[in-house]
Amino acid sequence: MSRLPSPDRGEWTEQRKAMFEGKLEPGDPAQEEGGPPNILWTVAHHPTLLEPFLAYSATLALRGVLSRRDSEILAMRASWNCRSAFEWGHHAEFALAAGISEDEIARLAASAEAEGWSDRDRLLVRAADQLHDTKTIDDETWSSLSASFEAAALVEITFVVGHYTMLSMVANATAVPLERNLVPLPRG
């Protein structure tokens, strides 16, 4: 059960509803239920924060320099590391749309050393784990990332992991209700 009351969606002004236009990821399961995902209704409890948060989130998710696949690997691993059922469930759908297989999604709940990762994917999982565990990326991993990614992508890697870690914290702390039909968080 959510720790915050659900905002009355019927009382929202057209201006507030318009804030969501062009800022939601295509294929978000929440849109099937008539609106943005529940995490955004939670953020809406702080109206002053909502609009800049939406702009930032849309920039990162929809206009970043990383491929959708790379971004979703990072988002999924961050949500796994935080054990966020909400973020995991949403990003499993996005990951599939980005070409990540169901086996790879299951592997995101294992480790960077699990069998089957490409070198690039393993490197992204390792970076997400290091950011979660130590709040930095070690020199060896950074050097490997630098050989594969431009400077803007290196910055974005840290932003994606940080962003979905933050959203996982919000979802977990406020007990954001899950939309129907989300992929469940694996046990472990």
Chain segment 126-140, per-residue pLDDT in tens? 999 999 999 999 999
Q: What would the two tokens of residue 74 be?
A: 């990072």
Could you state, in order of their start, the residue ranges of all structural domains in the chain? 68-174
Q: What is the pLDDT of residue 105?
A: 97
Mean pLDDT throughout 115-131?
97
Q: What is the pLDDT of residues 41-77, one digit of tens each?
A: 889 888 889 889 998 998 998 899 999 999 999 999 9
Query: Token pair 């974005």 is at which residue?
Result: 156
| CATH 1.20.1290.10 correct for 68-174 | yes
Specify whether the CB–CB gap between 7 and 69 falls below 8 A. no
Proportion of the chain above pLDDT 90, given as a percent: 64
Specify whether the CB–CB gap between 130 and 137 falls below 8 A. yes
Specify whether the CB–CB gap between 145 and 123 falls below 8 A. yes
Cα angle 80-9-181, degrees, rounded to a multiple of 5: 35
Dihedral over Cα of 72, 78, 81, 87: its sign: negative
